[in-house]
Amino acid sequence: MSQDLAATSGVTEVEERSPSLLSRLLAETFGTFLLTLVIVGVLVYSPLNTVGGLGVALGGAFAYIAGAATVGRVSGAHFNPAISLGSWLSGRITVSAMFSYWGAQLVGAILAAAVLFATVPQPLLALLGKENTSDAFDAAVNGFSQHSPLYLQTQGQAQFDWLPALLVEVIISAILVGVYLGVNDRRSRITYAPVAVGSAIAALTLVSWFVTNAGMNPARSTAAALFANNWGGDGSGRQLWLFWLAPLVGAALAALFYRAFASVEPEELELDEADEDEDDDEATEVVAEEPTPAAAPAAATEESAEKPAEAEPAPEPEKKSDEKA
């Protein structure tokens, strides 16, 4: 609306205001809510479907793409404390904004898990052999050893211990944050950044689903662990520390590598500015050499006016024949 008014009033430039902190926090809450609702929802109802890890991967990818396309211009579409940490370490947001983002992301993830917790039908729990709703959330919790999906799939014959789980979570989180920083760089010409990040989420989920149930996101891991309510001596809640530590370490590594290898050298900036100046000079010369179509007739008129009019030759007198008297 403001652009239309500016155009009709003859104003050619409209000042674009950056979103307020409250707007950004609401955007992060919404995006994390959507992402957690889809991922945790697919996992909670996994006994009723056969989508497995592919369903979780595609659901997370589509949810991120939809959320980023909706509110990405407001907050940058982090939806993940690890991405917020990487953005701070790469100099894109302040440390206060990062902690504010963390709070908004936790609120969004917990709200999504609460909605799922409140809407699970009680008769369904009896059909699935679950004693209460918290047991249904065990399938959505990130874990290792006896809580890794591999342990459940192999009926206890194989499992991933804490060290392999830690390494996998660090690596996939570093890749995810690295992809985000790369495609959202101000010098990048990629116009499909949400699709790139969503594709990374899908691919990395397929790799890590059997290992840790695909963490990468401390907010989503915290929400699932809270409602699973399994905080006993060997419960999955006691393993939540790994799914905060590993993604944050991976994000820090990705941000440090990004700052080291993706920064522009001063010489490159000078060359780019020199090239732009030369292009501007050439464009100016071309415009100056082109004659103005409307000025050509006027110039011709002035030249004709400056030349004195040539005098016409006087007519010769007519010769009369002599008449005889």
Q: How far apart are CA 61 and CA 203, in angstroms?
A: 9
Residue 183 has pLDDT above 90, yes or no: yes
Residues 171 and 250 sit within 8 Å (Cβ to Cβ) = yes
- Hey, what are 302's tokens? 């002035």
3-class DSSP state of 259? helix
Q: What average pLDDT does range 31-38 have in this prediction?
A: 97
Q: pLDDT, tens digit, for every residue of 230-282?
A: 776 677 788 999 999 999 999 999 999 998 887 554 444 444 444 445 555 55
> Could you give the C-alpha distances from 319 to 272, 312, 313, 315, in angstroms and in order?
86, 21, 18, 12
Q: pLDDT, tens digit, for every residue of 120-142?
A: 988 888 887 888 888 888 888 99
Considering only 130-144, 177-191, 305-319, which range has the smallest mean pLDDT?
A: 305-319
Chain mean pLDDT for the chain: 81
Q: How far apart are CA 106 and CA 225, in angstroms?
A: 12
Q: How far apart are CA 90 and CA 260, in angstroms?
A: 10
The pTM assigned to this predicted structure is: 0.76
Q: How far apart are CA 140 and CA 123, in angstroms?
A: 20
Q: What average pLDDT does range 171-182 have in this prediction?
A: 96
CA-nearest of 195, 43, 53 to 120 is 43
Predicted local confidence at residue 314, as pLDDT: 53
Residue 197 has pLDDT above 50, yes or no: yes
Q: How far apart are CA 83 and CA 247, in angstroms?
A: 9
Predicted local confidence at residue 152, as pLDDT: 79
Residue 294 has pLDDT above 80, yes or no: no
CATH code, 19-260: 1.20.1080.10
Residue 290 has pLDDT above 90, yes or no: no
Residue 317 has pLDDT above 80, yes or no: no
Considering only 52-56, 224-228, 314-318, which range has the smallest mean pLDDT?
A: 314-318
Considering only 35-49, 129-143, 150-164, 281-295, which range has the smallest mean pLDDT?
A: 281-295
Residues 67 and 30 sit within 8 Å (Cβ to Cβ) = yes
